[in-house]
Amino acid sequence: MSLVTMSESSNATVIKKKLTPEQRSKKREAAKVAVELLSEAYPEVFDLKNPRPLKIGIHESLAEDGKVSKTKIRRALSAYVRHYAYLSCLKEGAMRIDLDGSEVAPVSAEEAQHATEKVAEVEKIRQEKQQKYEQRKQAQVRRKEKEKRISQKLEALVAKSTSVKN
């Protein structure tokens, strides 16, 4: 079941659906496949192990080239440019590349700042998830310890009642 949240930005109402875990997983997998498709078609340009800043408007060049559908281009670029490794490579002055790998323009200070902010957001989210994981893990340990204490008390009561009967 999808939950719907509404937010008002300026004069327009934006409706966002919260995806179920299955929907998120399916969407993530589709994006991964699309990125792999671009990586196969343009290995020198789309490499998350060694990312380089892409030229602004590269989606138009990709669409003109026709190797990949526009939908998959959109999905792949969306995932690729939001990837932690890609955001981390966006440093001021780093050269952007086009489809053949040639340098076209430097990353501006504003673009580098935006990428740095996005990296900080990702790190904050990762840290929050890690904290929640640790809290759940600690709660699970406490539950097991409590169950063990209860079990020991019950065993002691059973042993005591057995010895009283004898």
Dist. CA 89–CA 117, nearest whole Å:
13
Question: What pLDDT shows up at residue 53?
Answer: 96
39 burial level (CB within 10 Å; 0-12, 13-18, 19+): middle
**How many angstroms separate the Cα of 106 from the Cα of each of 77, 98, 132, 138?**
19, 12, 39, 47
Which of 62, 59, 63, 54 is closest to 111 using CA atoms?
Answer: 54
Dist. CA 79–CA 28, nearest whole Å:
8
Residue where the block lists tokens 């699970």: 140
Query: What does DSSP assign to residue 114?
Result: H
Which of 3.30.70.60, 2.170.130.10, 1.10.1710.10, 3.90.870.10 would CATH assign to domain 21-107? 1.10.1710.10
Token reading at 87: 């955001």
Q: How many residues does the chain have?
A: 166
Question: What pLDDT shows up at residue 8?
Answer: 52
pTM of the predicted model, to two decimals?
Answer: 0.68
Dist. CA 133–CA 23, nearest whole Å:
22
State the DSSP string of 25-70.
HHHHHHHHHHHHHHHHH-TTT--TTS--PBPTTHHHHHHHH-SS-H
Using 70 as the pLDDT threshold, list the residues of the chain that sit under it.
1-14, 166
Dist. CA 98–CA 68, nearest whole Å:
16
Residue spans of the domains in the chain: they are 21-107
